[in-house]
Amino acid sequence: MEMVEPLLNSDATLDLQEETNKEEGLGGETEDSEEAQLLCAAGDPKMEALDSRKERIPRDPESCDIPFYVSEFVEREVGTDYESLSKLGRLIEQLSENKAKLEEQVLTVSSEVPKRIQKALQNAEDSKKSLNQLLEKESLLYDSINDHLMTSKPWMEDLGVLISQIKEVERHLAYLKWISQIEELSDNIQQYLMTNNVPEAATTLATMAEVDIKLQESSCSHLLSFVRSTVQFWHKILKDKLSSDFEETLNHLHWPFVGPTQSQPFGLATPPANAQEIYTNFETLFSQLLKLQTSDELLTKPKQLPEKYILPPSPPIILPMQIMLAPLQKRFKYHFTGNRQTNVLSKPEWYLTQVLMWIGNHAKFLEDKIQPALDKAGVSVNAKLEFSRALVILILEKLAADIPCLLYDDNLFCHLVDEVLLFERELHSVHGYLNSLPSCMHILSEETCFQRWLTVERKFALQKMDSMLSSEAAWISQYKDITDVDEMKVPDCAETFMTLLLVITDRYKHLPAAARKLQFLELQKELVDDFRIRLTQVMKEETRVPLAFRYCAILNAVNYIATVLADWADNVFFLQLQQAALEVCADSSALNKLQLGQLASMESSVFDDMINLLERLKHDMLTRQVEHVFREVKEAARMYKKERWLSLPSQSEQAVMSLSATACPLLMTLRDQLLQLEQQLCYSLFKIFWQMLAEKVDLFIYQEIILANHFNEGGAAQLQFDMTRNLFPLFSHYCKRPENYFKHIKEACIVLNLNVGSALLLKDVLHSATENRAETTLNSSQPTAMAALNELGIYKLAQQDVEILLNLRTNWPNTGK
């Protein structure tokens, strides 16, 4: 900083000298010539020397280059303006202040840094001393531990031997304790039985069974065998004793109730005097048998169906219920297995009905007597469901045995499936059977059986489709004489087909696996596509007469099927199938990301492909009908096109306006065809039809009649009368404002029937707007033209179209444009 002041002083001296030299160089020149002064200044050798001196200031890249910095600073702050030399004093003061602040900071830092360093060094010394002390202690402790280990090594070996011996003794002691506990429990059971205290014996056996369960993970095989054999020994004794007493009590109750006349305990006879005692014994024995449930599950493995049927896991039937079901199981196997006359493959309804009858006959007793006993014992089991589940297992075993014998007989197999589905429906709806329990649908879902079911379902559905389409009443609505019911005008074949699909849905909707349901859904979609193809083939035969009854019936059928499928798409069942299909497709990558997104967001449905194809067919058929009617309309309008619109008398020259004679064929053709199709098509289809036809007629009359002719005042009035008083009212039966569907005609009539003054004014406005639009791209006059047209009620026609229509008028004044 001390070098800055001399440098600044030298630069100031240079600037003063430069100013003096400049004044001397300019002295010989005239004051009124600024250009001459500038030239003299530029050519002054002293000034050039100063400039070159500034440029030749050395820059040392190895140093901080203070001279260059000072030169740059002066150049930036003062520049070549000599009047700014007055700033030098202020700059020197600022630099002096900065210098003083920097010196103060340097002094402060230089005084603080040694103190911090000294403190840090002191801390380091203290840490070093502490570390050395810790190392000394660690060394001493290490030596002490080693000495202790060496000293204790001999007696540690002795202790290890003693500890292992103690553990061995503890294991033997624990082993003996378990044996002692089992023997104690066994002795207790024996004593209870000797004193005829069966309830306590059953409770003790339950405790012993829990001990058996606790020891399952033990590796002491002999202990496990001893416990199991002891449990088995006492379980058999108690079970035999309680079972015999329980069966005797059941006999007193006239169990089982195998017929409708015995749907109550003791049959229809008056209950005996000791009925209450019998019920009390029954409940006591029932609760005691429940205590044997744990040991029974340990000793008895329930019979399982093969894994291919993928039955849901379910606990064993409770022991007292097994005893109660034994006579019914015996009856079932007696009648429906072996060579009995009641065991007939063609009559599955016999054993299915029998099981439903047994469930119904015993329902009241199960709810009134068994369920309270279960609740009192704290067992969370539904008596009726437990009873039903046990009988359903009999059905499953029977089906698993019979189905392989029926797979290749379509009629027998189909009959079996029908009866099983009826059985399942009544079992769930009437008796409250749960979907989470094993059912007949699990047997039908087995791969071989299910594929056969699909094949048979497809075969019979196709046969039904053949018969419904070949029927004489295939294209006649069943409700044709009932107006309120026959809104859709659905032919019999379409309604029968949708009923067939609905029946198929009811048949497979209770299948347990979503994948199986999706396979049936694919079958339904195949049937819809097949029916659509059949309708298309019949339609092609009727193409020559698209207004005939059968063609319209086919169109109604297509519309009805598409409408019903769209309704089904919002059904909860099919929405669940859509979610299942989404999961399957996501796993298999069968669909692209867009399709998956549409399924997930519910933008599409499982029937979208079928609905789109049906809608396309419907549109094609409607278009063909519209084209056919439109051709007839054009043919009927030939004379109307040739009407002499240029020479018709004006409205004032006629007493009463009347329809043009040449328009009668056109309007009569329209009327007849509309009436015919209104009777044959359903409301939604006919609405689409007449709107499409109205659009084509509107353009035809506008392009082929109005734009192709010139109109005097009478011709324009006649055209307007024909359209507004005759054509538009034809469609007033179908909507309130039919003129809105003939906007070209309506607006053209407005233009042609404007009075001369308004027409001239409109022509001028449009002409001005055209010129302004040609001159500028801002289009500032266009809103004025549009406003004028809108004020007249013209919204559809463009400005150019209105100009053309104005030029078709012939009733202009002689001086007009």
pLDDT digits (tens, 9 = 90+) for 117-136: 888 888 999 999 999 999 99
Distance separating alpha carbons of residues 627 and 439, to the nearest angstrom:
58
Considering the domain boundaries, does residue 138 fall inside one?
no
Looking at the structure, tell me whether residues 496 and 458 fall in a common domain: yes
Considering only 26-35, 432-441, 454-463, which range has the smallest mean pLDDT? 26-35
Residue 494 Cα to chain centre, angstroms: 30
pLDDT in tens, 772-803: 765 554 444 455 888 989 999 999 999 999 99
Q: Are residues 781 and 769 in contact, defined by beta-carbon separation less than 8 angstroms?
A: yes
pLDDT in tens, 354-366: 999 999 999 999 9
- What are the phi and psi torsion angles at 341 (to 5°)? -65, -25
Q: Closest Cα partner for 369 from 250, 258, 269?
A: 250
pLDDT at 519: 95
Looking at the structure, tell me whether residues 427 and 458 fall in a common domain: no
Secondary element (H or E) of residue 586: helix 572-588
For tokens 């030298």, the residue is 10
Distances (CA, A) of 742 to 673, 704, 802: 18, 14, 16
Given a cut of 60, whether residue 322 has pLDDT beyond it is: yes
Given a cut of 80, whether residue 312 has pLDDT beyond it is: yes
Looking at the structure, tell me whether residues 506 and 474 fall in a common domain: yes
Q: 360 burial class (0-12, 13-18, 19+ CB within 10 angstroms)?
A: middle
Q: Closest Cα partner for 433 from 362, 367, 366, 359?
A: 359
Q: Are residues 353 and 426 in contact, defined by beta-carbon separation less than 8 angstroms?
A: no
Considering the domain boundaries, does residue 487 fall inside one?
yes
pLDDT at 93: 83
Distance separating alpha carbons of residues 395 and 333, to the nearest angstrom:
11
Considering only 151-160, 623-632, 695-704, 784-793, which range has the smallest mean pLDDT? 151-160
Distance separating alpha carbons of residues 419 and 507, to the nearest angstrom:
11
pLDDT band at 639 (very low <50, low <70, confident <90, very high): very high
Averaged pLDDT for residues 158-165: 87
3-state SS of 486-521? CCCCCCHHHHHHHHHHHHHHHHHCCCCCHHHHHHHH
Given a cut of 70, whether residue 34 has pLDDT beyond it is: no
pLDDT band at 467 (very low <50, low <70, confident <90, very high): very high
Distance separating alpha carbons of residues 508 and 108, to the nearest angstrom:
94
Distance separating alpha carbons of residues 390 and 355, to the nearest angstrom:
10
pLDDT at 619: 97
- Rounded to the nearest 10 degrees, how much is the dihedral formed by the CA atoms of 738, 744, 746, 750? 170
For tokens 């594929």, the residue is 451
pLDDT at 260: 63
Q: What is the DSSP letter of 809?
A: B
Q: What is the DSSP letter of 711?
A: B
Considering only 477-481, 613-617, 726-730, which range has the smallest mean pLDDT? 477-481
Q: Closest Cα partner for 573 from 498, 510, 503?
A: 510
Residue 461 Cα to chain centre, angstroms: 31
CA atoms within 13 A on the CB side of 808: 25
Considering the domain boundaries, does residue 179 fall inside one?
no
Q: Closest Cα partner for 555 from 669, 469, 464, 475?
A: 475
Given a cut of 80, whether residue 485 has pLDDT beyond it is: no
Neighbour count for residue 558 (Cβ, 10 Å): 27
pLDDT at 645: 92
Give the domain extent around 370: 309-433
Question: What phi-psi label fits residue 312: left (phi over 0), alpha (psi between -120 and 50 degrees) or beta?
Answer: beta
Distance separating alpha carbons of residues 654 and 392, to the nearest angstrom:
92
pLDDT at 587: 59
Q: Closest Cα partner for 331 from 321, 342, 320?
A: 342
Q: What residues does 711 pair with on adjacent strands?
A: 809
Q: Which two tokens stand for residue 631?
A: 């051709």
Looking at the structure, tell me whether residues 459 and 560 fall in a common domain: yes
Distance separating alpha carbons of residues 262 and 269, to the nearest angstrom:
9
pLDDT band at 601 (very low <50, low <70, confident <90, very high): low
Distance separating alpha carbons of residues 554 and 542, to the nearest angstrom:
10
Q: Which two tokens stand for residue 681?
A: 């098509």
Q: Are residues 234 and 191 in contact, defined by beta-carbon separation less than 8 angstroms?
A: no
Considering only 26-35, 488-497, 529-538, 580-589, which range has the smallest mean pLDDT? 26-35
Q: Which two tokens stand for residue 118?
A: 């000294």
Distance separating alpha carbons of residues 421 and 744, to the nearest angstrom:
62
> How many domains is the chain partitioned into structurally?
3
Looking at the structure, tell me whether residues 520 and 549 fall in a common domain: yes
Considering only 40-54, 82-96, 211-225, 602-616, which range has the smallest mean pLDDT? 40-54
Q: Are residues 435 and 426 in contact, defined by beta-carbon separation less than 8 angstroms?
A: no
Looking at the structure, tell me whether residues 418 and 456 fall in a common domain: no
Q: Which of 80, 101, 130 is the last residue of a domain?
A: 80
Considering the domain boundaries, does residue 236 fall inside one?
no
Q: Closest Cα partner for 528 from 631, 439, 606?
A: 606
Given a cut of 90, whether residue 664 has pLDDT beyond it is: yes
pLDDT at 226: 92
Looking at the structure, tell me whether residues 330 and 426 fall in a common domain: yes
Q: What residues does 809 pair with on adjacent strands?
A: 711
The b/e string for 713-743 (b: 16+ C-beta within 10 A; e otherwise) is: bbbbbbbbbbbbebbbebbeebeeebbebbb
Q: Are residues 610 and 565 in contact, defined by beta-carbon separation less than 8 angstroms?
A: yes
Looking at the structure, tell me whether residues 389 and 483 fall in a common domain: no
Looking at the structure, tell me whether residues 460 and 422 fall in a common domain: no
Distances (CA, A) of 314 to 308, 438, 445, 675: 16, 8, 18, 66
Considering the domain boundaries, does residue 153 fall inside one?
no
Considering the domain boundaries, does residue 645 fall inside one?
no
In this structure, which amino acid lies at residue 685? L
For tokens 């209950």, the residue is 271
Most confident of 1-5, 72-76, 454-458, 602-606: 454-458
- State the distance between the two ends of the chain, measured CA to CA, in whole angstroms: 95
Q: Which two tokens stand for residue 758?
A: 């308004």
Neighbour count for residue 463 (Cβ, 10 Å): 10
Mean pLDDT of the chain: 85
Distance separating alpha carbons of residues 110 and 104, to the nearest angstrom:
10
Sign of CA pseudo-dihedral 799, 805, 808, 814:
negative
Helices 549-568 and 683-700 cross at an angle (nearest 10°) of 120
In this structure, which amino acid lies at residue 66? I
Q: Are residues 538 and 549 in contact, defined by beta-carbon separation less than 8 angstroms?
A: no
pLDDT band at 63 (very low <50, low <70, confident <90, very high): low
pLDDT in tens, 644-653: 999 898 888 8
Sign of CA pseudo-dihedral 581, 586, 592, 598:
positive
pLDDT in tens, 375-396: 998 899 999 999 999 999 999 9
In this structure, which amino acid lies at residue 22? K
pLDDT at 652: 81
Looking at the structure, tell me whether residues 496 and 614 fall in a common domain: yes
Averaged pLDDT for residues 69-75: 75
Sign of CA pseudo-dihedral 523, 525, 528, 529:
negative
Q: Which of 49, 80, 111 is the last residue of a domain?
A: 80
pLDDT band at 17 (very low <50, low <70, confident <90, very high): very low
Q: Which of 80, 112, 136 is the last residue of a domain?
A: 80
Q: Which two tokens stand for residue 357?
A: 């009858």
Considering the domain boundaries, does residue 364 fall inside one?
yes
Q: 620 burial class (0-12, 13-18, 19+ CB within 10 angstroms)?
A: middle
Considering the domain boundaries, does residue 543 fall inside one?
yes
pLDDT in tens, 395-407: 999 999 999 999 9
pLDDT at 774: 57
Rg (CA), the chain: 54
Given a cut of 70, whether residue 478 has pLDDT beyond it is: yes
Looking at the structure, tell me whether residues 317 and 421 fall in a common domain: yes
pLDDT at 813: 82
Looking at the structure, tell me whether residues 488 and 612 fall in a common domain: yes
Considering only 28-32, 336-340, 479-483, which range has the smallest mean pLDDT? 28-32
For tokens 């009811």, the residue is 506
Q: Which two tokens stand for residue 634?
A: 């054009």
How much of the chain, in percent, has pLDDT values that exceed 70? 84
